[in-house]
């Protein structure tokens, strides 16, 4: 497992993809249709670079077998990322919950019990991340968390992934939605591996998966956020785009995944 090379690939590709995506969002993406218009060469470079970077990170994670299990030290950046992720989850979940009651009482829509339950799951997930950021052992390592509690963020993101697939054909901003869906797929895998590590149930295989999908998700999510921010600044986002809380949550999750991977190291056992 080539740690240094995977980090180098991630850092350089993240910088390049963020810049190219922002440029494409400003100059190429049609805010009405969501499709690229013109700049075909730049679009091709972006797609190839994104695909090659994700493949390179994945190959680096599996290029050499790792026999030791991962241990995670709570660095200041990781603790801050966990706390901000928890806050962002609370904001998004409370906003979703308010929308349920608003649609029911103000517009007479049927009460959406499923969305309410998943909003409560999101609130609980935010508490889990807040606890992850605030608690640590005497040696500065991560405090093991109950495995069932760590599955709450996974369940919540699975709901968002399914909702994303259901909206795929309806949403106008096709390129944004494609990046968002790919980000959520990588996030679901990362959260599953993250739950095993946080619950102290990790293996050597878990470490490779953590590196691969943690960095791939971060790359996709940072790039997605760059497009939304560029679209917001130039007023090229459509009505179906993420709201500010959701973009903030995606950014926090991407930063948390990156910090979690960078804080992970093979144990000496």
State which H helix or E strand residue 37 sits in.
none
Q: How far apart are alpha carbons 171 and 228 in whole angstroms?
A: 14
- What residues contact 221, with CB distance under 8 A and at least 6 apart? 183, 187, 250, 251, 253, 254, 257
Write down the pLDDT at residue 167: 60
b/e for 258-268, b at 16 or more Cβ within 10 A? Answer: bbbbbbbeeee
**Which two structure tokens, joined as six digits, stand for 42?**
């730049």
Q: What is the pLDDT of residues 157-212, one digit of tens each?
A: 887 777 766 665 555 556 777 888 888 889 989 988 888 887 777 676 777 888 89
Q: What is the pLDDT of residues 19-59, one digit of tens each?
A: 999 998 888 877 766 677 878 899 899 999 999 999 999 99
Q: How far apart are alpha carbons 245 and 198 in whole angstroms?
A: 26
CB atoms within 10 A of CB 67: 8
Burial of 203 (0-12, 13-18, 19+ CB in 10 A): middle
Q: List the chain domain ranges.
A: 3-266
Q: What is the pLDDT of residues 94-140, one digit of tens each?
A: 888 888 787 777 766 676 787 788 888 888 888 888 888 887 655 55
Q: Does residue 78 surpass a pLDDT of 60?
A: yes
Q: How far apart are alpha carbons 98 and 257 in whole angstroms?
A: 28
pLDDT > 70 fraction of the chain, expressed in percent and rounded = 78
Half-sphere exposure of 11 (CA within 13 A, CB side): 9
Write down the pLDDT at residue 223: 94
Write down the pLDDT at residue 38: 79
CB atoms within 10 A of CB 40: 10
Q: Would you give the DSSP letter of residue 73?
A: B
**Which two structure tokens, joined as six digits, stand for 5?**
């090379």
Q: How far apart are alpha carbons 95 and 117 in whole angstroms?
A: 13
Mean pLDDT of the chain: 81
b/e for 180-201, b at 16 or more Cβ within 10 A? Answer: bbbbbbbbbbbbbbbbbbbbee
Alpha-carbon dihedral 221, 252, 99, 155, rounded to 10 degrees:
80
Write down the pLDDT at residue 120: 87
Q: Under a CB-based contact definition with an 8 Å cutoff, are residues 90 and 123 in contact?
A: yes
Q: How far is CA 168 from CA 30, 163, 176, 180, in A?
A: 17, 9, 10, 10
Please give the backbone phi and psi of residue 143, each rounded to the nearest 5 degrees, phi first: -80, 125
Band of the pLDDT at 252, cuts 50, 70, 90?
very high
């Amino acid at each position: 497992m080539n740690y240094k090379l995977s980090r180098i690939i991630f850092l350089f590709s993240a910088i390049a993809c963020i810049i190219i995506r922002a440029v494409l969002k400003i100059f190429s993406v049609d805010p009405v249709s969501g499709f690229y218009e013109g700049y075909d060469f730049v679009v091709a470079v972006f797609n190839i670079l994104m695909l090659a970077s994700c493949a390179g990170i994945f190959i680096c994670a599996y290029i050499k077998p790792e026999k030791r299990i991962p241990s995670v030290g709570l660095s200041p950046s990781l603790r801050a990322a966990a706390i901000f992720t928890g806050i962002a989850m609370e904001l998004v979940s409370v906003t979703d919950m308010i929308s349920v009651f608003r649609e029911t009482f103000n517009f007479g829509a049927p009460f959406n019990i499923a969305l309410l339950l998943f909003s409560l799951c999101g609130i609980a997930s935010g508490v889990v991340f807040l606890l992850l950021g605030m608690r640590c052992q005497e040696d500065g390592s991560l405090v093991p968390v109950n495995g069932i509690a760590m599955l709450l963020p996974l369940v919540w993101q699975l709901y968002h992934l399914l909702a994303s697939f259901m909206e795929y054909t309806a949403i106008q901003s096709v390129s944004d939605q494609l990046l968002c869906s790919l980000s959520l797929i990588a996030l679901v895998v990362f959260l599953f591996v993250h739950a095993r590590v946080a619950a102290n149930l990790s293996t050597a295989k878990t470490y490779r998966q953590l590196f691969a999908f943690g960095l791939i998700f971060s790359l996709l999510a940072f790039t997605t956020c760059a497009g939304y921010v560029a679209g917001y600044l130039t007023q090229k986002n459509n009505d179906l785009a993420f709201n500010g809380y959701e973009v903030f949550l995606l950014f926090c999750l991407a930063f948390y995944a990156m910090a979690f991977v960078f804080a992970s190291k093979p144990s000496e056992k």
